[in-house]
């Protein structure tokens, strides 16, 4: 980009309007389960992007308890397209926001508030960057077909949004850009080039109940069995392969004078590579079958059942993402800005689309403490915030990188 100083000054001048848009968005509660709030935010978003020439489509979620996904499209002069991805929902129920007085609050360089960082700041970043392209790289802006996609329920399990993205991203989509917050290494921003996959699971043990006084030897104790089984699950964690198992909840038994007939544990596991992920899944499933806790009198055996509840497959390190990252790296070098990359443990919509379209993540601004709403007087607990001064440099970088990407010869 030739006129970087000019674009930077323009972005600085647009920042108050961008923050005003962020404030409007943060003031709408869009907790995933707040269907009406999510839809209100979708409509506000469509309205604010409309002056840029975007047509809106609200797509019902596969889960009737969630609000609609949002798709905005602006057809370009060529058949090439770029997808920008964000989400509408946050993790904060309205009651929690009230209880913790968690709302829009600017203090110095920080703005606290639900979704400031995850991910309404990212949505505002999209708005800033597209406006910068329209004003300063109009050929690029007009040439591309822009597809903007917002998941209504990213913070929950929503595989239907992945299918929606795939339908909208054909063979000539140059990239799917996810506007989750950037990482940092000291002051160096980091983009996200890979994310762990995650499966959630449930293990149910069925033993045999018995009167704990009169027929104790007749019982096969499901809690004793589940205690042994969960030790085996926990032992599947292997940090050397970046594989983690978390045994997260446990339930079992009824009253104290019964040998318990049933016990249930639930949890998740995460891994970066498809191979480690698949092996982990196989190891977990192999625990199913007869257990090693028996009733003393007739050898009745506890039965172990293993279910995979949900799966979000890994987004492993891959060539297409690395190639896309190079456009940002080159732009950063040209602008004299530091930039690095990271592989992140948490999921995003990048997990749903990386194998269909080259995907890059972490394009949003910088902030911290996402998914936290509490604040303590001693400052040991601080809620989610976004850093105001991170918007302009990141918007400048994203704009320059998109110009580089759009100027690449077709094919």
Binding site for Zn ion (CB under 5 A): 118-119
Cβ neighbour number for residue 212 with a 10 Å cutoff: 15
Q: Residue 156 burial (CB < 10 Å; 0-12/13-18/19+)?
A: middle
How many residues are recorded in the chain?
Answer: 411
Closest contact distance (angstroms) between CB of 148 and Zn ion is 16
Q: Tell me whether residue 118 or residue 342 sits nearer to Zn ion (CB atom).
A: 118
Using DSSP's 3-state secondary structure scheme, residue 281 falls into helix
Cβ proximity to Zn ion: between 39 and 118 the closer is 118
| Least spacing, CB of residue 30 vs Zn ion, in Å | 12
Cβ distance to Zn ion smaller for residue 145 or 390: 390
**C-beta separation of 89 from 153 below 8 A:** yes
Instruction: State yes or no: cis peptide before 185, omega within 30 of 0.
Output: no
Query: Shortest Cβ distance from residue 67 to Zn ion (Å)?
Result: 16
- Of residues 81 and 153, the one with the C-beta less far from Zn ion: 153
Pick between residue 207 and residue 367 the one whose CB is nearest to Zn ion. Answer: 367
C-beta closer to Zn ion: residue 192 or 293: 192
Residue 361 CB-density burial (10 A; 0-12 exposed, 13-18 middle, 19+ buried): buried
Q: Is the Cβ of residue 89 or residue 160 nearer to Zn ion in the bound state? A: 89
CB of 154 to Zn ion, least distance (A): 6
Q: How far is the CB of 164 from Zn ion (least distance, A)?
A: 17
**Is residue 346 within 8 Å of residue 367, measured between CB atoms?**
no
For residue 156, the minimal CB distance to Zn ion (Å) is: 11
**CB of 35: closest distance to Zn ion in angstroms?**
18
In the complex with Zn ion, which residue's Cβ is closer, 97 or 118?
118
User: DSSP letters along 293-342, please?
Assistant: EE-TTT--EEEEEEEEEEEE--B---HHHHHHHHHHHHHHHHHT---EEE
Task: For residue 254, give the 3-state DSSP assignment.
Answer: coil
CB hemisphere CA count around 254 (13 angstroms): 11
Smallest CA-to-CA distance from 352 within 210, 77, 161, 203 is with: 161
**Closest CB to Zn ion among 227 and 346?**
346
Least distance in angstroms from the C-beta of 116 to Zn ion: 12
Q: How far is the CB of 172 from Zn ion (least distance, A)?
A: 27
* Smaller CB separation from Zn ion, 35 or 87: 87
Q: How far is the CB of 95 from Zn ion (least distance, A)?
A: 21
Structure tokens belonging to residue 282: 């196989």
Interior angle at CA 117, CA 114 and CA 120, nearest 5? 75
Q: Which of 227, 310, 293, 292 is nearest to 265 (CA)?
A: 227
Among residues 118 and 387, whose Cβ is nearest to Zn ion?
118
CB of 380 to Zn ion, least distance (A): 25
Q: Residue 97 is encoded by which pair of tokens? A: 């926001």
What is the strand order of the sheet 145-151 is part of? Answer: 55-59, 69-74, 145-151, 81-87, 173-178, 359-360
Pairing between β-strand 173-178 and β-strand 81-87 as defined by DSSP bridges: parallel
Query: Rg of the Cα trace of the chain?
Result: 25
* Residue 41: closest CA among 57, 56, 24: 24
């Amino acid at each position: 980009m030739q006129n970087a100083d000019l674009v930077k000054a323009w972005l600085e001048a647009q920042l108050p309007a961008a923050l005003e848009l962020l404030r409007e968005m943060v003031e709408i509660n869009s907790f995933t389960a707040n269907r009406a709030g999510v839809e209100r935010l979708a409509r506000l978003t469509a309205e604010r992007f409309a002056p840029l020439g975007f047509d809106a489509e609200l797509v019902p979620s596969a889960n009737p308890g969630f609000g609609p996904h949002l798709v905005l499209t602006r057809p370009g002069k060529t058949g090439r397209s770029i997808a920008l991805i964000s989400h509408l929902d946050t993790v904060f129920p309205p009651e929690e926001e009230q209880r913790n007085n968690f709302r829009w609050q600017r203090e110095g360089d920080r703005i606290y508030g639900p979704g400031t960082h995850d991910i309404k700041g990212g949505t505002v970043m999209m708005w800033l960057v597209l406006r910068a392209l329209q004003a300063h790289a109009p050929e690029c802006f007009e040439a591309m077909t822009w597809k903007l996609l917002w998941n209504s329920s990213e913070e929950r399990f929503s595989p239907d949004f992945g299918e929606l993205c795939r339908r909208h991203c054909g063979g000539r989509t140059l990239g799917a850009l996810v506007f989750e917050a950037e990482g940092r290494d000291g002051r160096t921003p980091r983009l996200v080039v890979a994310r762990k996959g995650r499966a959630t699971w449930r293990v149910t043990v069925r033993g045999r109940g018995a009167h704990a006084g009169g027929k104790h030897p007749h019982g096969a104790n499901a809690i004793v069995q589940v205690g042994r089984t969960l030790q085996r699950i926990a032992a599947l964690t292997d940090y050397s392969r970046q594989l983690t198992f978390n045994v997260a909840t446990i339930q079992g038994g009824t009253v104290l004078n019964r040998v318990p007939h049933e016990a249930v544990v639930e949890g998740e596991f995460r891994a970066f590579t498809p191979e480690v992920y698949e092996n982990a899944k196989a190891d977990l499933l192999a625990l199913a079958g007869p257990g090693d806790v028996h009733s003393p009198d007739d050898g009745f055996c506890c039965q172990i059942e293993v279910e995979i509840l949900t799966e979000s497959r890994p987004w492993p390190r891959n060539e297409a993402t690395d190639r896309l990252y190079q456009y940002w790296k080159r732009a950063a070098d040209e602008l004299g800005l530091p930039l690095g990359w990271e592989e992140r443990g948490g999921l995003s919509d990048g997990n749903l689309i990386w194998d269909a379209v080259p995907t890059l993540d972490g394009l949003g601004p910088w902030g911290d403490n996402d998914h936290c709403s509490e604040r303590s007087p001693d400052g040991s607990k601080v809620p989610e915030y976004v850093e105001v001064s991170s918007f302009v440099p990141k918007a400048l970088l994203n704009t320059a990188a998109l110009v580089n990407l759009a100027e690449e010869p077709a094919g």
